[in-house]
């Protein structure tokens, strides 16, 4: 049974939250066998943009550091105010260029 199947069963009331957690724990080791592309495809099906992912190797190719340190660098960069602001500004620019109408759901607009 796939994770997607388990979540579907949970959402439709076929299994309890406890059973879902137990089944997911059993499936956890299987995720290591799933290809990166399949994982990306699954995330895209759930609404996530996965075309541009960064890897610790992107840092380690230029700096002498551990993979843990490289991950810290990536996390700090991706959570920086400047990057987040640039992404939201780019989203606005592209959506406006495509002539999408802005919603009034965001109190920060």
Q: Which residue has the tokens 């699954």?
A: 42
Query: Where in the chain are the domains?
Result: 1-51, 54-109
Q: How many CB atoms lie within 10 A of CB 71?
A: 15
**Alpha-carbon distances of 90 from 32, 36, 60, 69, 82, rounded to whole Å:** 34, 27, 28, 29, 12
Q: How many CB atoms lie within 10 A of CB 70?
A: 20
User: In tens digits, what is the pLDDT along the chain, a chain of 109 residues?
Assistant: 677 788 788 888 888 877 887 887 776 656 777 788 888 888 888 888 999 999 999 999 999 999 999 999 999 999 999 999 999 999 999 999 999 999 887 766 6
Q: How far apart are CA 5 and CA 80, in angstroms?
A: 36
Q: Which residue has the tokens 């997911």?
A: 24
- Give the H or E element holding residue 105: none
State the pTM of this model.
0.63
């Amino acid at each position: 049974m796939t994770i997607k199947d388990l979540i579907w069963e949970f959402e439709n009331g076929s299994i309890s939250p406890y059973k879902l957690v137990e089944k997911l724990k059993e499936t956890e080791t299987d995720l290591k066998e799933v290809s990166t592309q399949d994982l990306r495809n699954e995330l895209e099906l759930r609404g996530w943009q996965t075309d541009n992912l960064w890897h610790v190797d992107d840092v380690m190719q230029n700096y002498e550091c551990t993979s843990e340190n490289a991950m810290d660098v990536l996390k700090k960069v991706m959570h920086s105010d400047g990057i987040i602001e640039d992404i939201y500004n780019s989203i606005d620019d592209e959506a406006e260029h495509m002539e999408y109408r802005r919603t009034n759901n965001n109190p920060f607009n």
